[in-house]
Amino acid sequence: MGFRSSMMVAAALAAAVSFGAVAAPMSGNPILPGWYADPEAAVFGKTYWIFPTSSRPYAEQTAFDAFSSPDLVQWTRHPGVLKIEAVSWAKEALWAPSVVEKDGQYYFFFSANDIKNDSEVGGIGVAVADRPEGPYRDLLGKPLIGSFHNGAQPIDQFVFKDDDGTWYMLYGGWKHANIVRLKDDFTGIVPLSDGTLYKEITPAPEYVEGSLMFKRGGRYYYMWSEGGWGEPDYSVAYAIADAPTGPFKRIGRILQQDPAVATSAGHHSLIHAPDDDSWYIVYHRRPLGRTGRNERATAIDRMEFDAQGHILPVKMTHEGVPAHPLP
């Protein structure tokens, strides 16, 4: 090998080493080990959190694990942060967490018992703890919402705090969605500004479940899941309105199956990094070659907007996202 060739090889190796030294580690997808679905993502202090459903046969979904990370790459499991034994009225499965912090305490909203009518006990509950990792204890000794209103099954709740300090909860299965205003101590609901307790905000005929809301640029974004959660066409769509109560009109899907990556992509949550306006979508999907309804894995990818504020289609990846330590 001549001197020139040797120098070229050395330069290439140096560049590779240099590149390796600065390249941020990636999270990889799935981001959590094992079968987990319906992930709720949050930022508490300098730590990222994911609270997922344990994706198991229905009767075995009796506890929630949580996962924490300083950077979106390294995750620590906290097993059994809320167990069915801590909820006196919950006799069947627990699923679909929504977790918020208020006045130094952490409130864990969940779905339980999958009720089919108002004569059954179950619905949406709330538990409380002094730390994100629990242990959580039942706050009310009964469901927060335990009956049907406007045709909405009381499941898949999402809790949203508006800029004025008002707390709302969006929820609903069976193709209907409601919004309610929560009491400041989360022990019940109070009338909305128009006097209604349960306001239907179903955004489109395609709506199925998995409500989520966030605010950006003074507008309210409402996101939800469409299709069947056990089917390949499970997906996420969204709408925008000028008020949290709508009216909302469906804009389109932003997350759906990719034959080269995974199917059944839905029931998501979001992380908004406070330091640089990065947005991440955390969701579950079914790996290629898997067909079992409970074979669902949690993944994370970037979510971006165009100049008009519309959400761009999310590209599912195997690589995930780079490390993003919180300031």
Q: How far apart are CA 43 and CA 48, in angstroms?
A: 5
Better-scored residue on pLDDT, 13 or 315:
315
**Confidence grade of residue 4 (pLDDT, cut at 50, 70, 90):** very low
Closest CA to 69 of 302, 273, 320, 324: 324
**pLDDT attached to residue 13:** 40
Would 307 be classed as within a structural domain? no
Would 309 be classed as within a structural domain? no
Segment 5-25 shows an average pLDDT of: 47
Would 8 be classed as within a structural domain? no
**Confidence grade of residue 10 (pLDDT, cut at 50, 70, 90):** very low
Active site residue 38: yes
Contact between 253 and 234 (Cβ < 8 Å): no
Would 6 be classed as within a structural domain? no
**pLDDT attached to residue 11:** 43
| 111: CATH | 2.115.10.20
Q: How many helices (H) does the chain have, and how many strands (E)? A: 1, 20
Which among 138, 209, 226, 301 is annotated as catalytic? 209
Which among 38, 65, 133, 138 is annotated as catalytic? 38
**Confidence grade of residue 24 (pLDDT, cut at 50, 70, 90):** confident
**Confidence grade of residue 32 (pLDDT, cut at 50, 70, 90):** very high
Segment 119-125 shows an average pLDDT of: 98
Segment 184-209 shows an average pLDDT of: 97
Segment 117-129 shows an average pLDDT of: 98
Would 324 be classed as within a structural domain? no
- Count of domains in the chain? 1
Contacts with 189 (C-beta within 8 Å, 6 or more apart), sequence order: 144, 145, 169, 180, 181, 182, 183, 197
- Render pLDDT for 51-91 as a digit per residue (tens, 0 to 9): 999 999 989 999 999 999 999 999 999 999 999 999 999 99
* Mean pLDDT across the chain: 93
pLDDT of 37 over the 70 cut? yes
State which amino acid sits at residue 229.
W
**pLDDT attached to residue 327:** 85
Closest CA to 288 of 308, 261, 318, 313: 261
- Render pLDDT for 234-246 as a digit per residue (tens, 0 to 9): 999 999 999 999 9
**Confidence grade of residue 22 (pLDDT, cut at 50, 70, 90):** low
Would 20 be classed as within a structural domain? no
Q: What percentage of the chain carries pLDDT values higher than 90?
A: 91
DSSP state of 58: G
- Render pLDDT for 162-184 as a digit per residue (tens, 0 to 9): 999 999 999 999 999 999 999 99
Would 217 be classed as within a structural domain? yes
**pLDDT attached to residue 277:** 87
**pLDDT attached to residue 275:** 84
DSSP state of 21: H
**pLDDT attached to residue 7:** 35
Active site residue 200: no
Q: List, in sequence order, every beta strand (DSSP E) within 178-327.
A: 178-182, 189-190, 199-200, 207-216, 219-226, 235-241, 249-255, 262-272, 279-287, 297-302
**pLDDT attached to residue 202:** 98
pTM summary value: 0.92
Would 310 be classed as within a structural domain? no
**pLDDT attached to residue 52:** 98
Contact between 97 and 106 (Cβ < 8 Å): no
Question: Is beta strand 189-190 parallel, antiparallel or unpaired with respect to 199-200?
Answer: unpaired
**Number of neighbours of residue 192 by Cβ within 10 angstroms:** 17
Determine the structural domain holding residue 168 and report its residue range. 32-302
